[in-house]
């Protein structure tokens, strides 16, 4: 016959189960702790940690290099090696295509060392991270705008730095990209005969991106859209500005043909028009 264990035996068994469970939890905790410890390098002199980071960087092991450089600051936060390691960690993350981590490390360097001679490079590195993430004009242009803002700040604050010239070049490329996005949206509206929405986009290109390659087409599209709305004087003015500034372009030939089809000629931009104020 089945006999029920005594209360003392049951209590003893429960204690053994509790101890066993506690041992398992301690073992798991030890494993987890060991795993976390494995992510960090053992305590070493700062120059040795920095040397390891540089070695991994030279080997192309960029993420490991970034971790080693970060360890310099963690273990020796007030050493000169820590300051170097912060910026090198940002560079290593950039090389590893870990752009968010690189931006965070570079921004941290700027915040901690605003007077450092390497702050312009930190700005430049952040700009490169945004620049590398620029997508085609059919997609969101958040990274394009951030690249423009970052490079523009670099040029504004540090115009004499060795990174300013390349930043200016990239600003021109980024602005052309943003203008291309505006043109794509404008053409989308134009195809759907949403003339006013299209005109707003083309005007934005002409007004805010005058040095880009998209201005001749924008002026032609304005001519098209104005004619579609029956705004003949504005169409003539847009074609006149296009012909004066880009007389040999294909876009002027097309605008001229449009006007001829309406028995019109390119006019002169009136003194009060927004086009006359721009050009």
175-116-58 Cα angle (round to 5): 80
Q: What is the 3-state secondary structure (H, E, C) of the chain?
A: CCCCCCHHHHHHHHHHHHHHHHHHHHHHHHHHHHHHHHCCCCCCCHHHHHHHHHHHHHCCCHHHHHHHHHHHHHHCCCCHHHHHHHHHHHHHHHHCCCHHHHHHHHHHHHHHCCCCCCHHHHHHHHHHHHHCCCCCCCCCCHHHHHHHHHHHHHHHHCCCCCCHHHHHHHHHHHHHHHHHHHHHHHHHHHHCCCHHHHHHHHHHHHHHCCCCCCHHHHHHHHHHHHHHCCCHHHHHHHHHHHHHHCCCCHHHHHHHHHHHHCCCCCCCCCCCCHHHHHC
Structure-model confidence comparison of residues 7 and 153, the more confident one: 153
**pLDDT-derived band at 77, boundaries 50, 70, 90:** confident
Q: How do the domains of the chain map onto residue ranges?
A: 193-279
Contact 218, 184 (CB under 8 A): no
Q: 50-73: per-residue pLDDT in tens?
A: 998 999 999 999 999 999 999 988
Q: Over 50: is that where the pLDDT of 260 sits?
A: yes
Displacement of CA 32 from its chain's centroid (Å): 36
* pLDDT value at residue 194: 98
pLDDT above 70 (res 84): yes
pLDDT at 265: 84
CB atoms within 10 A of CB 30: 10
Write the pLDDT tens digit of every residue in 128-176.
999 999 988 778 889 999 999 999 999 999 999 999 999 999 999 999 9
Q: What is the rounded average pLDDT of the residues 71-96?
A: 91
**Cα dist from 6 to 18, 189, 273, whole Å:** 18, 85, 102
Is residue 119 scored above 90 in pLDDT? yes
| Structure confidence by residue, pLDDT tens digits, 219-253 | 999 999 999 999 999 999 999 999 999 999 999 99
Average pLDDT over residues 179-204: 97
Neighbours of 138 (CB within 10 A): 9
- Summarize pLDDT for 16-36 with one digit per residue, the tens: 444 344 433 333 444 443 333
276 vs 25: CA distance, rounded Å: 78
pLDDT for the residue numbered 140: 84
| Mean residue pLDDT across the chain | 85
């Amino acid at each position: 016959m089945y006999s029920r264990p005594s209360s003392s035996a049951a209590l003893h068994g429960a204690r053994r189960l509790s101890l066993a469970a506690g041992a398992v939890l301690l073992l798991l905790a030890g494993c987890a702790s060991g795993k976390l410890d494995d992510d960090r390098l053992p305590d070493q002199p700062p120059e040795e940690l920095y040397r390891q980071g540089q070695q991994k960087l030279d080997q192309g092991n960029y993420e490991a290099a970034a971790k080693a450089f970060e360890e310099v600051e963690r273990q020796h936060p007030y050493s000169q090696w820590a300051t170097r390691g912060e910026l090198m960690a940002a560079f290593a993350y950039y090389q590893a295509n870990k752009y968010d981590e690189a931006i965070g490390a570079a921004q941290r360097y700027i915040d901690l060392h605003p007077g450092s001679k390497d702050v312009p490079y930190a700005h430049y590195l952040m700009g490169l991270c945004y620049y590398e993430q620029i997508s085609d004009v059919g997609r969101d242009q958040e990274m394009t705008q951030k690249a423009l803002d970052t490079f523009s700040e670099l040029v504004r604050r540090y115009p004499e730095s060795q990174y300013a010239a390349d930043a200016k070049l990239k600003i021109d490329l980024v602005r052309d990209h943003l203008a291309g996005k505006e043109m794509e949206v404008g053409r989308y509206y134009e195809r759907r005969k949403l003339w006013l929405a299209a005109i707003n986009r083309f005007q934005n290109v002409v007004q805010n991106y005058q040095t880009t390659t998209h201005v001749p087409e924008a002026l032609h599209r304005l001519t098209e859209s104005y004619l579609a709305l029956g705004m003949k004087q504005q169409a003539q003015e847009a074609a006149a500005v296009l012909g004066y500034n880009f007389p040999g372009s294909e876009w002027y030939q097309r605008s001229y043909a449009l006007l001829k089809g309406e028995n019109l000629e390119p006019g002169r931009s009136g003194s009060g028009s927004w086009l006359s104020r721009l050009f």
